[in-house]
Amino acid sequence: MVERHLGELGESDRSYLDGMTTGAMRDGWAAAHGGFRRPFDYLLTLADAEAQLEHLSAPVGLIGHTHVPRAHVSVDHEGERLWRVIDFDGTHRSYRVPPRATAFLNPGSVGQPRDGNRFAAYALFDAETRHFEVHRVPYDVGAVIRRVRRAGYPERLASRLLEGR
């Protein structure tokens, strides 16, 4: 798939992409595509979050790649690391990360949700209040499926959009 996309990009497109960084860091949060150890790591399970924790350089990590809106939140309590996993489902959910907690926050996906909900997902994060708000919005899934098929992508990429998988 990557080879196909590279072939469709012009030289200026490739140059622009080459100049991009793989993440961002601001006061209190860091962002990465998939993980902080490697950009395409999946952070889906509690074990994945535990493996990424030592690579997170801020209290809150904003991540994607799995296309599942979820939070993995941990706090050190009397020398023991306690975890909580929050799945954001329905049309709107929010969570405030506690003051001493460390969290990985995933907004889900606008283009290919994979949590069984075919609505597009996006999130807003307020770094000051540590409030993370996930939104789900409908979009014309049928039109996207037709475009995926016309572009010649594998059928599974089109049909999975109906199920949000």
In a domain, 107, yes or no: yes
Q: Express each pLDDT in 67-82 by its tens digit.
A: 899 999 999 999 999 9
In a domain, 13, yes or no: no
In a domain, 8, yes or no: no
In a domain, 9, yes or no: no
What's the pTM? Answer: 0.88
Of 76, 67, 145, the residue nearest 113 (C-alpha): 67
Beta bridge partners of 23: 32
In a domain, 148, yes or no: yes
Is the pLDDT score of 39 beyond 80?
Answer: yes
- For 14-44, b/e burial (b = at least 16 CB within 10 A) is eeeeeeeeebeeeeebbbbebbbeeeebebb
In a domain, 118, yes or no: yes
Task: Kindly indicate the confidence band of residue 1, based on its pLDDT and cuts at 50, 70 and 90.
Answer: low
What domain count does the chain have? 1
Is the pLDDT score of 17 beyond 80?
Answer: yes
Q: Express each pLDDT in 100-151 by its tens digit.
A: 999 999 999 888 888 888 899 999 999 999 999 999 999 999 999 999 999 9
Q: Residue 147's pLDDT is what?
A: 95
Q: Residue 24's pLDDT is what?
A: 84
| Containing structural domain, residue 38 | 22-163
d(CA 26, CA 153): 37
In a domain, 17, yes or no: no
Q: Tell how strand 60-62 and strand 29-32 pair up.
A: parallel
What CATH number is associated with residue 40? 3.60.21.10
Q: What is the mean pLDDT of the segment spanning 4-18?
A: 83
In a domain, 2, yes or no: no
